[in-house]
Amino acid sequence: MSFTAKDVMGLRQKTGLGMMDCKKALTETSGDPVAAEEWLREKKKGKMDTRTERTTGEGKICIASKECCAVIVEVRTETDFTARNENFVEAVENIAELALETGADGEITANDAITKLVDDLRITTGENANYSRGFKYSGGKFGDYIHHDGKRACLLQFEGDMEAATVKGICQHIVFHDPMGISADDVPADKIEQIRADAIKEAKDAGKNEEIAEKMSEGKVRKHLQEHTLLAQKYVLDESTTIQALLGEGTTITAFTRYTLGS
């Protein structure tokens, strides 16, 4: 099977590889574009695999949703230049769409289709890339916010009715205030005990007796929970109110996931 310059260009556009690589692939596969793409994948795989030890300190977070479910995913690469490239961004968006089709809620494990897209990124960018993590929710309603740099984001699940601007504002709040949970009930008991123990030690170091130290620690715990649980926090866009006050009657926040790239 022969091939033309148009065929070479088509393969280049599809794979992102150089013209000479694409021409050689078509030559080796008698002009079959499907076989040529697979040939390139196999030939480049050796080089691609040598990159997997390289640090991936950049990347992008993406959120996708449909009526019944929503996902948040993080894909990492080596440089900010690549992370901002439109082809990388499109690939991460495609990975998020694939994640929507995964099964159970909760942590999302990369399937074969997601892995293939990540492998394609390694081949076409010349950098290490990896699917870092993902999370899926089903049921209820969803809101989200992704910071302009694509490195911080929040996916929110709620029940009831809220205006779109309020939902987005709460997601922005979560991104910038990083609450420990929705309410005090969501904070692990060992975390509360650690806060209490630290407060008691601080009080005793200041010369307070056991009884006073205990009372002071309870106040410290209450204050910490008010400052670090979502519903009790002052709203980032209007500190005269709290997140709880933004919610109308019958509206509840059921869950949220907040990602910061690499942490």
pLDDT tens by residue, 202-227: 889 889 888 898 889 888 888 999 99
Residue 48 reports pLDDT greater than 60: no
Q: How high is the mean pLDDT of the chain?
A: 90
Read off the pLDDT of residues 99-112 as tens digits, 9 standing for 90 and up. 999 988 999 999 99
Domain 5-49: give its CATH architecture. Orthogonal Bundle (1.10)
Taking residues 6-35, report their average pLDDT. 81
Q: Which of 36-50, 185-199, 204-218 has the lowest mean pLDDT?
A: 36-50
Taking residues 139-153, report their average pLDDT. 97
Query: What is the pLDDT, as a whole number, of residue 177?
Result: 95
Query: What is the pLDDT, as a whole number, of residue 52?
Result: 61
Taking residues 158-166, report their average pLDDT. 96
Read off the pLDDT of residues 86-139 as tens digits, 9 standing for 90 and up. 999 999 999 999 999 998 899 999 999 999 899 889 888 888 899 999 999 999
Q: Tell which wins on pLDDT, 122 or 76.
A: 76
State the greatest distance between any 2 C-alpha atoms of the chain, in Å, as a whole number: 90
Q: Which of 83-87, 164-168, 187-191 has the lowest mean pLDDT?
A: 187-191
Residue 239 reports pLDDT greater than 80: yes
Q: With beta carbons less than 8 A apart as the criterion, state whether 246 and 235 touch.
A: yes
- With vertex at residue 145, the alpha carbon angle to CA 127 and CA 107, rounded to the nearest 5 degrees, is 65
For CATH 1.10.286.20, list the domain ranges present in the chain. 188-228
Residue 66 backbone phi and psi in degrees, to 5: -140, -175
For CATH 3.30.479.20, list the domain ranges present in the chain. 53-139
Residue 239 backbone phi and psi in degrees, to 5: -75, 0
CATH number listed for the domain at residues 188-228:
1.10.286.20
pLDDT confidence tier of residue 53, bands split at 50, 70 and 90: low
**3 state SS of 66:** coil
Query: What is the pLDDT, as a whole number, of residue 35?
Result: 87
Using CA atoms, how far apart are residues 176 and 221, in angstroms rounded to an integer? 22
Q: Tell which wins on pLDDT, 52 or 139.
A: 139
> How many Cβ atoms sit within 10 Å of the Cβ of residue 245?
12
3-state secondary structure 228-254: HEHHHCEECCEEEEEHHHHCCCCCEEE
Residue 81 backbone phi and psi in degrees, to 5: -55, -45
Say what percent of the chain tops pLDDT 90: 59
Residue 36 reports pLDDT greater than 90: no
CATH number listed for the domain at residues 53-139:
3.30.479.20
For CATH 1.10.8.10, list the domain ranges present in the chain. 5-49
Residue 246 reports pLDDT greater than 90: yes
Task: Give the count of alpha carbons within 13 A of 225, CB side only.
Answer: 20
